[in-house]
Amino acid sequence: MKRQSLNLTKCCVLIYLMLIVLLAFHIGLATDIGDFFGSASHLKDYDFSEGWTANGMPVNVNAYSAGYFGGRVVYEKTLPNVLERNDSLCISTSNLQMQVYFGQEMVYAYDTRENFSGYGDGIAYHVINLTPEYAGQNLRIEAQTAFRDGTGGRINEVACCTPEEYRYCLMDREFFPCLASLVMILLGILALAGYFGLHRKNKMMRRLWAMGLSAILFGLWNLMDTGVPQYLTGMVIAGRTQVYSLLHLAIFPLIYFVHSVTRVKRPVLLWLSFGTAWISILGLLFARFSLGIDMHQLVPLIYFSYGSGLLWMCVILADNEIWCRKKRISSNLRYFYIGALCFIFTALMDMSRYLLTKTGSYGTGSWFRLGLMLFFIFMVFQVFLWWSTEKNSLERDRFVNHLLQEVLVVGDAETKIGKLLESLCRELKADRAYIFEDRGDGTFDNTYEYCAEGVTPQIGNLQGIPYEGVVDSWYEEYRKGGHILIYDIEKYKSVSENMYNVLKPQDIHTLVTGPLMLDGEYIGFFGVDNPPAEMMREISEIIRLLMYFLSEMIFQRNNQKTLLQYSYHDVLTGAKNRRAIREFERQELDTGRSYGYLMCDINGLKVTNDTQGHDAGDEMIRDVAECLKEVFGAEHLYRMGGDEFAVYVYRDTPEELDRDVERVRALLESRNRHAAIGTSFARAGDADYHRHKTEADNRMYEDKRRFYSAGGHDRRKAR
């Protein structure tokens, strides 16, 4: 049985490894050859980079840097003959100053200023509004490199489209690099959460912070290198600073972690790598701030810093492998070696691309992202394997597996939590199993409880337990040891008298409790009362194992509540939906009061969708919803379909309802929106709401007919 279980584990491990590698390979390659995977950006549909002249020479505007022309260049091209009012010229630049002219009129200017890295500002985005009167005019961009030595400075891309289209295309193109970055950051956060949350019995777990910190720093660098944060926030200089600093800061924690998990420990290698890293960093800072050298001129020193880090990592791993072979023992670092090879190979590949191609830094980094992704995935996978092999208590494993099997067959998260507490209490022969959750106001509530037969429930008495002076003592012990064991409640009085005063009235003699955590933050605690004293130590390990499972079930419960909320609301507008209005009419509508019913149908939505795109149509829908919310509130506003809204509102007279309708029409007019509106007023005691809905609907369509008749529009085309 043990061998079959082990073989099954190996099969699962191999399957998951293959899936992870394929996913990472997909993410890495999609950055360069996204067309093959169907994920290429749609930006080429709006590309405006061809057909330019640079100082009189025909070029693609992104083909050469300003440095190619001596540091200054004038790009010229004719604007399209037809421009829409919401079109814009969207330009991405790297380390470039420029002035943009339409004809003889300067419409935009951008300059750089000295910053941490020098005069360069990295990737910057510029959106210049176009109007129909600019159609066919000469477009001139007078550009110069931001660097004092006249090198670099380039236009990465030019697009002619709306800002919304450009943002969509940019996010589409950078989706996979951003996803890879966020996955690395998530891995780092999980590693740090594991470091602070797990009971760390061995040296490897005590070094987990280094892997987490390194993953977060590498992930942030990756994210900044895509340019997406700069576009979304406008913090260009901050992005430039992070691109130059994060890699240097990330390398040593990574080497520290690799060194910590090798079987042979040579502190001299760790100190040498640390010294090399900081000599490089201090050398860069001295050259920048004492000698005034721009960072982009220090590429050899920067790459020495990166390359030396890769070299020391290779030396540490090679030294460990040689030592293990001499001792004829397994290094147990197989996945580390695979990840390290991926990391080193892809890093060298992108360094070569940067140094040998004319395109500079823009467009490079994709292979390095792939290598980083694979490296951290393999590291996490290796750590997971080590962690799983340490679980050597077969009886504890049997108990937990049996417990989880009982829980997984039941329904939603609420039921699972209750079933888990029941099984926990019964199997451990305890009096009571329970969960306390943080209310967020400095108090805790007993939210779940299961009591053995004959034990008095306490859940009604244990509400609003204060953090200060009571629960804080347990939280402090959680931070130190991960769980709490109370073998004798009388002796515990000297540890925390306030908690003793809470526990003693419940006839508690022994107790085991552990924290509940989400995203590294305590959200409450759970435990069992009066388990057998001889089982206390084993129960503490079970509590430790179940801590994460219970936390996840609480997370699922919260998600289920959120999904239930979404099932009654329209995502686009925030208004309620058809399901919600049916529930309201069936259970909540008070026909004993006078009320009004309003139907609203947007005019011109189809034309907007056809001519301006669905993003513009969505904006129109949101505008109408906001106008209705401003007058009637959001509580009884319902989106009935693509362009229809309904409102229930309690009013005393029809005149009040009419005044509200006029306010809505005024708000719509102020936003250049039009909608057909129909109303019906029901006096107190009139329970036939179906009649009023039909009446309001008919009046709305009559209003729509008048609108299109007056304007000469074809309703079938314009609706």
pLDDT digits (tens, 9 = 90+) for 125-170: 899 999 888 988 999 999 999 888 888 888 988 999 888 888 888 8
Q: What is the CATH number of domain 175-389?
A: 1.20.1070
pLDDT digits (tens, 9 = 90+) for 570-628: 888 889 888 888 989 888 899 899 999 999 999 989 889 989 998 999 999 999 999 99
Q: Which residues of 312-327 are buried (b: 16+ CB within 10 A; e: fewer)?
A: bbeebbeebbeebeee
Percent of the chain with pLDDT over 90: 20
Provide the pLDDT confidence category of residue 36 given band limits of 50, 70 and 90.
very low
Rounded alpha-carbon distances, angstroms, from residue 696 to 179, 249, 340, 631, 649:
48, 66, 69, 18, 13
Q: Return the closest-CA partner of residue 697 out of 676, 718, 715.
A: 676
Rounded to the nearest 10°, the torsion over CA 166, 172, 178, 183 is 150
| Contact between 424 and 398 (Cβ < 8 Å) | no
pLDDT digits (tens, 9 = 90+) for 128-138: 999 888 988 99
Q: What is the CATH number of domain 394-565?
A: 3.30.450.40
Residue 679, pLDDT above cutoff 90: yes
Strands (E), 180-258: none
CA atoms of 271 and 498, how far apart (whole Å): 49
Whole-structure pTM over 0.75, yes or no? no
CA atoms of 416 and 419, how far apart (whole Å): 5
Provide the pLDDT confidence category of residue 6 given band limits of 50, 70 and 90.
very low
Residue 84 tokens read as 């829409």
pLDDT (mean) for 663-678: 93
Residue 354, pLDDT above cutoff 70: no
Task: Parse the chain into domains and list their residue ranges.
Answer: 46-172, 175-389, 394-565, 578-718
46-172: what fold? Jelly Rolls (2.60.120)
pLDDT reported for residue 298: 81
Residue 10, pLDDT above cutoff 80: no
Q: What is the DSSP string of 539-593?
A: HHHHHHHHHHHHHHHHHHHHHHHHHHHHTTB-TTT--B-HHHHHHIIIII--TTS
Residue 628 tokens read as 């209705």
Percent of the chain with pLDDT over 70: 85
Q: Return the closest-CA partner of residue 399 out of 545, 523, 300.
A: 545
Mean of the per-residue pLDDT values of the chain: 81
Residue 359, pLDDT above cutoff 50: no
Residue 317 tokens read as 């791993």
pLDDT reported for residue 269: 87
pLDDT reported for residue 619: 93
Residue 255 tokens read as 């080497």
Tell me the CATH architecture of domain 578-718: 2-Layer Sandwich (3.30)
* Environment class of 367 (CB within 10 Å of its CB; exposed 0-12, middle 13-18, buried 19+): buried
Longest dimension (CA), the chain: 95
* Environment class of 619 (CB within 10 Å of its CB; exposed 0-12, middle 13-18, buried 19+): middle
pLDDT digits (tens, 9 = 90+) for 328-346: 776 777 777 888 788 778 7
Residue 98, pLDDT above cutoff 90: yes
Provide the pLDDT confidence category of residue 4 given band limits of 50, 70 and 90.
very low
The mean-pLDDT minimum among 49-58, 291-300, 324-333, 503-512 falls in 324-333
Residue 697 tokens read as 């609907």
* Environment class of 559 (CB within 10 Å of its CB; exposed 0-12, middle 13-18, buried 19+): exposed
pLDDT digits (tens, 9 = 90+) for 193-240: 877 776 554 555 667 788 888 888 888 888 887 778 878 877 766 667
Q: How far apart are the first and last CA of the chain?
A: 68
CA atoms of 145 and 164, how far apart (whole Å): 29
pLDDT reported for residue 39: 39
Provide the pLDDT confidence category of residue 665 given band limits of 50, 70 and 90.
very high
Contacts 24+ apart (CB under 8 A), 7-12: 9/388
| Phi, psi for 60 (deg, rounded to 5) | -80, 135
| pLDDT: which is higher, 470 or 680 | 680
| Phi, psi for 526 (deg, rounded to 5) | -145, 165
CA 207 and chain centroid, separation: 26
Residue 103, pLDDT above cutoff 60: yes
pLDDT reported for residue 143: 93
pLDDT reported for residue 75: 94
pLDDT reported for residue 677: 94
Residue 375 tokens read as 């490296």
pLDDT reported for residue 142: 94
The mean-pLDDT minimum among 71-85, 475-489, 586-600 falls in 475-489
pLDDT digits (tens, 9 = 90+) for 402-451: 777 767 666 778 888 888 888 888 888 889 999 999 988 889 999 999 99
Q: Return the closest-CA partner of residue 247 out of 354, 163, 151, 328.
A: 354
